[in-house]
Amino acid sequence: FWEIISEEHGIDASGIYKGESDLQLERVSVYYNEASAASRSSGGKYVPRAILLDLEPGTMEAVRCGTYGKLFRPDNFVFGQSGAGNNWAKGHYTEGAELVDAVLDVVRKEAENCDCLQGFQLTHSLGGGTGSGMGTLLISKIREEYPDRIMNTYSVLPSPKVSDTVVEPYNATLSIHQLVENTDETYCIDNEALYDICFRTLKVPNPSYGDLNHLVSLTMSGVTTCLRFPGQLNADLPFLHWYTGEGMDEMEFTEAESNMNDLVSEYQQYQEATADDEFELDVEDNEVDGECV
């Protein structure tokens, strides 16, 4: 996800702005903090407003050593040492509960640095122990501290076709209740559907988890585009007093509503008449020896 939106905003792997359009920087603060004086001329540095969390250090080291490892703030890597072992209870009640306070401290620091905090976005899997158990625990804790902020999750659901653990259905079942109670928006992403898209549509013979993650990243980028770039979706809805203030009479709105209702009524009558004609035509076509089949 961060690779895709960094490219869309003209930010390279080290956080330096290399773009050519002012639109790329207009709303870059939605997902990035300005680490230094950044502009088209100075090429300042931007840091993602992200917290990377896991109950084992291996994945965090993989991110740090990766291409975009230098993009993230080092203090925002939070990890444990034991892992959840694909066990929802471990992530929610034991190992995850021991680490959640450290995560919340980082969340508070990031929230305090925001001028206007809109909400939180969580990307996790419901098949493992950390994403399902500790992910839902973190959601409930954030909901307690920030009850008026939007909570949005991208939750990857397991499936038998793309699975390597027998307890994935149990982890997902235990997590869904928490998501229903504590989130405002949950985008459920099915692993099997992603696999079918790669195999049938994109013609990838043996889709890997990297291919599936790329599809998820494209989905997240599309959903968040209206937040990161200006467009018609962000336009304010007009209010009635705007028009009346410009001299329009309220009777004009009544007349317009009447015309719309008449148009809908005429369309429904035409649709019903067309359906009757098609039925009569089918009856005539099916007549054999004077009998109706």
How does pLDDT run across 129-155, given as a tens digit for each residue?
A: 888 989 999 999 999 999 989 999 999
Q: How confident is the model over 176-215, as pLDDT tens digits? A: 988 999 999 899 988 888 888 888 888 888 888 888 888 9
- Structure-block tokens of residue 124: 């996790």
Which residues lie below 8 Å from residue 227, measured CB to CB, with a gap of 6+? 27, 30, 118
Rg from Cα positions in the chain: 26
Q: Is 60 exceeded by the pLDDT of residue 290?
A: no
Q: 52 forms bridges with which residues in the sheet?
A: 77
User: Which residue is it, tokens 């493992």?
Assistant: 128
Residue 191 burial (10 A CB sphere; 0-12, 13-18, 19+): buried
* Strands 52-54 and 46-48, sheet pairing: unpaired
Q: Where exactly are the structural domains of the chain? A: 49-234, 240-292
CB-based contacts of 165, cutoff 8 Å, min separation 6: 86, 127, 128, 158
Rounded Cα distance between 258 and 239, Å, is 19
CA distance 178 to 184: 12
pLDDT tens-place string over residues 242-268? 566 666 676 777 888 888 888 888 888
Bridge partners for 156 per DSSP: 125, 189
3-state DSSP call for residue 128? coil
Furthest CA-CA distance within the chain: 88
Q: How far is 280 from 292, CA to CA, in rounded Å? A: 11
Strands 287-288 and 52-54: unpaired
Burial code (b: 16+ CB inside 10 Å, e: under 16) for 121-154 equals bbbbbbbbbbbbbbbbbbbebbbeebeeeebbbb
Q: What is the pLDDT of residue 41?
A: 47
Q: Which residue type is seen at 140? A: S
Task: For residue range 57-111, list pLDDT tens digits in order.
Answer: 888 888 888 888 888 888 889 888 888 888 888 889 988 888 899 999 999 999 9
Fold of 49-234: Rossmann fold (3.40.50)
CA distances in angstroms from 141 to 92, 101, 107, 145, 149, listed in the order given: 11, 9, 11, 7, 13
Residue 46 DSSP SS3: strand
SS3 content of the chain, % helix, strand, coil (to 5): 55, 15, 30
